[in-house]
Amino acid sequence: MKTIPGLTIFSQQTERLPNTVQFGIPRIDGEMMLMNLDKKGFSISSGSACSSGGNLPSSVLVAMQIESGLAKSALRVSLGITNTVADIYEFINQLKALVYQV
């Protein structure tokens, strides 16, 4: 994922759950990307776990002083016990394909 230009992993250097990552990609609409990835069979989330939806950036990301546009691009991916390494690579490949077609 880090090969996607501008991709920012939020709170990368802090303690966090090992199975969850939240990231943003400049100039990408998080809700639109969420829908496109859902069509590809991936169940992910946009915003933070405590976000209530809507078109506003996550209040948590705003409090972290993440720029509004980047915060609105936020996607959160959590892995479960049934996910495989192949699932992760397929997600990354599909994400890259969607980012580069935008």
17 is catalytic: no
Which residue is catalytic, options 17, 50, 63, 81? 50
Residues 44 and 76: beta-carbon distance below 8 Å: yes
SS3 assignment for the chain: CCCCCCCEECCCCCCCCCCEEEEECCCCCHHHHHHHHHHCCCCCEECCCCCCCCCCCCHHHHHCCCCHHHHHCCEEEECCCCCCHHHHHHHHHHHHHHHHHC
What amino acid positions are annotated as catalytic residues? 50
